[in-house]
Amino acid sequence: MDDTIYNLKQKIAELQEEIERLTTHQTQLQLVIKSTGVGIWDWNVPTGETSFNERWANIIGYTLKELEPVSIQTWLDHAHSDDLIESERLLKEHWSGKSEYYIFESRMKHKDGHLVWVLDTGQVIEWESKGVPKRMIGTHLDVTDKHLMMKQLNAANSRLKELSYLDSLLSIPNRRAYKKSFKREVSRAKREGQPISLIMIDVDYFKLYNDSYGHIEGDNALKKVTKSIQSSLNRPTDIVARYGGEEFIVLLPATPIDGAITVAQRIQKSLDRKKIEHSQSDHAVLTVSMGISCCNSDFSALLERADKAMYLAKKGGRNCYEVYRN
């Protein structure tokens, strides 16, 4: 009898130690869950019965009591409808053994009306049979801040990319942007059998202008030239770009030579009206020389021909335009 009592006491002591160990483990687990802000769900798949912890409800702005009675339908009611198809696909992938875990970032409707991004993870821990889940447990973690940061980062990257195609002084496309636009418009012209015209523009005696009036006034003069060019373009498809220094390019898609000449004349008249003083110029005001080229087949020589025509304009006294003729 004494041995039986002794053995029973030993068993009781061992059981108490196990209870203490499990209690400590549970306390530690609860502290981890609380400190990491993790929501917990436990889903009986065949019946739909589901339990959630308080944090799970808090993530979408509720107390657990406000959501009761809870089931898998509670999750479905608050999940974004556009995410349900992908969620179901990933669940079935996990159930079929193709993935070890179910992992999906989805949107859920917050009590206040906005959307919350949630990292949803789970794993089957009991099976009815192969490929047929019985019980699944998992977590929800609010990752809205991450998505907001990604959105801001993407916006910043888009802005940075946009700025890389803009001239920092004049806020118009730079040479890099022009080359990209040129390739696009050439492809379109080839498809549609349309001509492209190009105007190469160079500010006359600009080095002398900078030397006489200073670089700040030189920058202001370039801004005024830019506005004259921009105001002379009537179509959103027409492009003005800073090619470098005091050189500009105007790309005119679907425009024959006569149309390009009309644009060049408008640019000249617009700049004439500004009457920007230039004491070192033969014309006493700031002027430009322009070269015009047009083609509907050999686009590779378009820029070179416009450049040649522009130098003819310079040789011809500046403050004028010349057209490249074959």
Q: Are residues 56 and 139 in the same domain?
A: yes
Q: Are residues 139 and 260 in the same domain?
A: no
Locate 208 and state its tokens.
């002398």
pLDDT of residue 32: 45
Q: Are residues 306 and 199 in the same domain?
A: yes
Query: End of a domain among 102, 121, 148?
Result: 148
Per the domain annotation, does 107 fall within a domain?
Answer: yes
pLDDT digits (tens, 9 = 90+) for 302-318: 999 999 999 999 999 99
Per the domain annotation, does 135 fall within a domain?
Answer: yes
Residue 249 has pLDDT above 90, yes or no: yes
Name the catalytic one among 246, 247, 277, 322.
Answer: 246
Give the total number of structural domains in the chain: 2
CA distance 169 to 167: 6
Which tops the pLDDT comparison, 100 or 26?
100
Any alpha helices (H) in the chain, and if so which ranges?
2-36, 54-59, 64-67, 72-78, 84-95, 144-164, 175-192, 206-213, 215-231, 257-274, 302-315
Q: What is the number of residues in the chain?
A: 326
pLDDT of residue 146: 87
Q: Which residues pair with 47 in a beta bridge?
A: none
Q: Are residues 221 and 273 in the same domain?
A: yes
- Assign 272 to helix, strand or coil: helix
Is 294 within 8 Å of 198 (Cβ atoms)?
A: yes
pLDDT of residue 296: 83
- Assign 117 to helix, strand or coil: strand
* 164 confidence band (pLDDT: 50, 70, 90): confident
Select from 138, 156, 140 the least CA-distant residue to 148.
Answer: 156
Note the Cα 163 to chain centre separation in Å.
Answer: 13
- Give me the amino acid identity at 322: E
Note the Cα 82 to chain centre separation in Å.
Answer: 21
Mean pLDDT (the chain, rounded): 87
Per the domain annotation, does 217 fall within a domain?
Answer: yes
Query: End of a domain among 148, 177, 198?
Result: 148
Q: Are residues 194 and 277 in the same domain?
A: yes
Query: End of a domain among 114, 148, 182?
Result: 148
Per the domain annotation, does 302 fall within a domain?
Answer: yes
Q: What is the mean pLDDT of residues 189-212?
A: 94
Active site residue 105: no
Q: Are residues 96 and 244 in the same domain?
A: no
Residue 193: domain span: 167-323
Q: Are residues 191 and 246 in the same domain?
A: yes
Per the domain annotation, does 156 fall within a domain?
Answer: no
